[in-house]
Amino acid sequence: MSDNPSTIRIDGQEIPFTAGQTIMDAALAAGIYIPHLCHYSGLPPSGNCRLCVVENGNRSVAACITPAVTGQEIRNNTPELNEARKAITQMLFVEGNHICPSCEKTGNCKLQAMAYHLGMLDDHFPQFYQRRELDASHPEILLDRSRCILCDLCVRASRDMDQKNVFAIAGRGTDAHLIVNTPSGKLADSTMAVTDLAANICPVGAILIKEIGYEVPIGQRIYDQQTIRETGLQEHVD
């Protein structure tokens, strides 16, 4: 237990936090990477991807939704937790249609980069071969639900930053899917613009901007230059 009233320990390292910060906020501010896919600095957390689960004493908690509390002893970068994170990542791969070599997002994709980070060498689980609706109705934005990992980031970005509420997640469990809040259910009938945060926040290749395909060549993309650990720390804003 720390004597400092405003510190927690992560993997033995004492770090400060301020009132209102989550374990994730405090960790990233201190330069400690906790793997995450649905956390985005500046948006309310949803706690749905479970990549950020850490051990707080003998409890497992999602770091992005759990407040930092004085004296917490957090375990984060352990072989057991990283194995569990790898299994979650493998599940995300088989739940959708993730054929990286044919995907425009390759090299810029957080799911793919997470797989590299966790040393994932195969899918492990059987493929679901999902058939989900593709929406190419919008003149500038493509929505390919077959790659959606239901991270909820576009929902929160559209609602809380763009003030448009274009998206929602409907259904539960294996029936969960992304819907567009228009009478037709089509993106073309929404007010979504290519400059919206929701159009640019997707961590995978589910929401893509049309007509810029392969503008940045493979080999020169984000995760060709940096690891997801490095970008994850850089993206944090206090």
List residues near ligand FES by CB under 6 A: 36-39, 47-52, 62, 64
Tally of residues, the chain = 238
Q: Which is nearer to ligand SF4, 17 or 223 (CB)?
A: 223
With tokens 């320990």, the residue in question is 9
- The smaller minimum CB distance to ligand SF4, of residues 32 and 157, is found at 157
List residues near ligand SF4 by CB under 6 A. 98-100, 103, 105-106, 109, 111-112, 147-154, 178, 201-202, 204-207
Shortest CB 238 distance to ligand SF4, Å:
24
Query: Given the structure tokens 């206090």, which residue do they identify?
Result: 238
To ligand SF4, the closest distance from the beta carbon of 78 in angstroms equals 25
Contacts of 87 (CB under 8 A, 6+ apart): 124
Helices (H), the chain: 23-29, 79-95, 110-117, 153-156, 222-225, 228-234
Q: How far is the CB of 28 from ligand FES (least distance, A)?
A: 11
The site partner of 92 among ligand SF4, ligand FES, none (C-beta below 5 to 8 Å per kind) is none
Dihedral sign for Cα 57, 60, 64, 66, please. Answer: negative
User: Taking CB within 5 to 8 Å according to partner kind, which of ligand SF4, ligand FES, none is near residue 61?
Assistant: none
Q: What are phi and psi of 53, to 5 degrees?
A: -65, 130
End-to-end C-alpha distance for the chain, whole angstroms: 26
Q: Which does 64 bind (CB under 5 to 8 A by kind): ligand FES, ligand SF4, none?
A: ligand FES
> Is the Cβ–Cβ distance between 29 and 13 less than 8 Å?
no
Per the CB < 8 A criterion, the answer to whether 31 and 143 are in contact is no
Q: In terms of CB distance, is 30 or 94 closer to ligand SF4?
A: 94
Cα–Cα dist 39/152, whole Å: 10
> Which partner, ligand SF4, ligand FES, none, binds residue 48 by CB below 5 to 8 Å per kind?
ligand FES
Q: State the nearest-atom distance from the C-beta of 151 to ligand FES, in Å.
A: 7
Q: How far is the CB of 197 from ligand FES (least distance, A)?
A: 17
